Amino acid sequence: MWARRALQETAMPSHSDFAVTAGPGRILVVDDDRRMASRRAEWLCASGWHASAAGSASEALRLPGCDRLAGCLVDALLPDDGGRRVAEAIRAGAAGAAIVALTPAGATMPAWADAAVAEPGRDDEILAALAAAREIAAARAAAPACPLRGNEGGLVGGHAAFQRVLELADRVARTPATVLVTGESGTGKSLLARRIHAASGRSGRFVEVACGSLAEPLLESELFGHVTGAFTGATADRPGKFRLAAGGTIFLDEIATASPALQVKLLRVLQELEFEPVGSGETQRVDVRVILATNEDLAALVAQGRFRADLFWRVNVVTLELPPLRDRAADILPLAGHFLNAAAAKAGRDLNGFTPAARAALERHPWPGNVRELEHAVARGVFLGRSSLIEVGDLPAAVQAAGPATGPGSPLKAALAAPERELILAALERSGWRRDVAARALGINRTTLYKKLRRLGLDLAALEPAR
């Protein structure tokens, strides 16, 4: 009895000490075999960690400072889903805490863990798992959190079709269903995905991937991670976005750009939640909610043989189509007011709204760039305007052209500007936003294209998809 007490006291600091010092080397071992937990804690102390032991999930959760740990080695078979509860409690206070699950031989790593060791677990296996888990946890902590709550970010409007989309999004949020968000560029697909995640109750992070911004080899590594030596420059193991999103939501934007080979791998992940990192034959499982988005007609791409039919039917479980801003004209001014308040707060200005001429221009403009274009147009007015009201002259040239006629020739100029703008934007989108290719397609040189862009008030930084 004395030996057992001495072993536990050696391995485990007092609760007061546990609460005060929460350095980068502090780790907790949780196992319902309390003697094994204490032995492992003692060995970890000898290996350089500041380790403590707990014999149950409830004991671990009662320890002061358990939310300020660097890591946790936890029995995956604790009663009452204790492993998950411990992991979530630790991550609530420290997103960068590394969680290693101790699993039965041959068992799958639980979704709440960063790495796993099959029992009985050799010393070198445990240390290797801790090192891998710390890297994954550090990457997870560095990933952007989902800041969206309610109607922040531009999900504003009373249009019936738009409200139906929000209602469906809220209804599907707490289900595990895969969601496909469709709509033109700038309609708010990413914001809607963030809203679904925020309402989902999932404890993990929201991770966004722009599939169209990376070449296929890089995209595969970005999604699934890679191991050391998988390709030139792969000097260390890296977790992919699916691992970073474990327990949360991954948002795959521009899914129509995925190559046929990548579509096969995505289909497997969606069906089985399994994948292998690039260069590895080890299968990983992950618990993640998948939301996809596209501004293309996937059914048409299937008919053309450019998108797999089986993947289309797999992602087409729940489809939410965001209407373009031109179809919800009554929402333009409420959205403009929302963006005005946000931009004025950033600029430190006290503004009272828009002049009648500015309101008319906002309502008449066709907004081919949708909500994103409106946001940038209002921000421009806030930053460049000088009076307490945004005037029509503070808005981009293309928006000014949509306002009331101010002299001879104005109606014709406004009428011609809109189709010219549409043609230029269509050419840019088809060319992947390469100005030289778009200019050749339009039959003009690049200098002329730049002049037209300036004249029409086209801000490509606002309209071009993020890369």
What is the pLDDT, as a whole number, of residue 180? Answer: 94
Both 414 and 454 in a single domain? yes
- Tell me the per-residue pLDDT of 160-189, one tens digit each, with 9 for 90 and over: 889 889 989 988 998 888 999 999 989 999
What is the pLDDT, as a whole number, of residue 11? Answer: 38
What is the pLDDT, as a whole number, of residue 4? Answer: 32
Query: The dihedral of CA 145, 76, 79, 96: what is its sign?
Result: negative
CA distance 138 to 97: 8
Both 92 and 192 in a single domain? no
Measured at the CA of 347, the angle between CA 342 and CA 353, to 5 degrees, comes to 55
Which CATH number characterizes residue 62's domain? 3.40.50.2300
Both 12 and 109 in a single domain? yes
Both 300 and 388 in a single domain? no
Domain termination residue (choose one: 323, 344, 360)? 323
More confident residue, 184 or 152: 184
- Tell me the per-residue pLDDT of 27-54, one tens digit each, with 9 for 90 and over: 889 998 888 889 888 888 888 888 888 9
Both 188 and 300 in a single domain? yes
What is the pLDDT, as a whole number, of residue 142? Answer: 61
What is the pLDDT, as a whole number, of residue 320? Answer: 94
Domain termination residue (choose one: 142, 168, 193)? 142
Q: What's the chain's Rg over C-alpha atoms? A: 27
State pTM to two decimals: 0.59
More confident residue, 103 or 14: 103
Query: The dihedral of CA 34, 37, 43, 44: what is its sign?
Result: negative
The residue behind tokens 């990457």 is 139
Number of domains in the chain: 3
Note down the domain range covering 79.
Answer: 2-142
What is the pLDDT, as a whole number, of residue 230? Answer: 65
Both 239 and 164 in a single domain? yes
Among the ranges given (2-16, 247-261, 321-335, 412-426), the one the predictor scored with the smallest mean pLDDT: 2-16
Query: Nearest-CA neighbor of 71 among 17, 30, 31?
Result: 30
Q: Per-residue confidence at 84, pLDDT binned at 50, 70, 90? A: confident
Distances 371 to 291, 331, 349 between C-alpha atoms, Å: 21, 10, 22
Both 136 and 177 in a single domain? no
- Tell me the per-residue pLDDT of 245-278, one tens digit each, with 9 for 90 and over: 888 999 999 999 888 888 988 898 888 888 888 7
Both 384 and 315 in a single domain? no
Return the number of other C-beta atoms located less than 10 Å from residue 448's C-beta: 12
Both 55 and 111 in a single domain? yes
What is the pLDDT, as a whole number, of residue 24? Answer: 46
Domain termination residue (choose one: 259, 294, 323)? 323
111-125, 366-380, 426-440 — which one is most confidently predicted on average?
366-380
Both 331 and 316 in a single domain? no
Task: Establish if 155 belongs to a structural domain.
Answer: no
Task: Establish if 148 belongs to a structural domain.
Answer: no
- Judge whether residue 18 has pLDDT over 70: no
Both 268 and 338 in a single domain? no
Distances 430 to 420, 425, 443, 447 between C-alpha atoms, Å: 16, 9, 15, 19
Strands 98-103 and 249-253 turn out to be: unpaired
Both 316 and 338 in a single domain? no
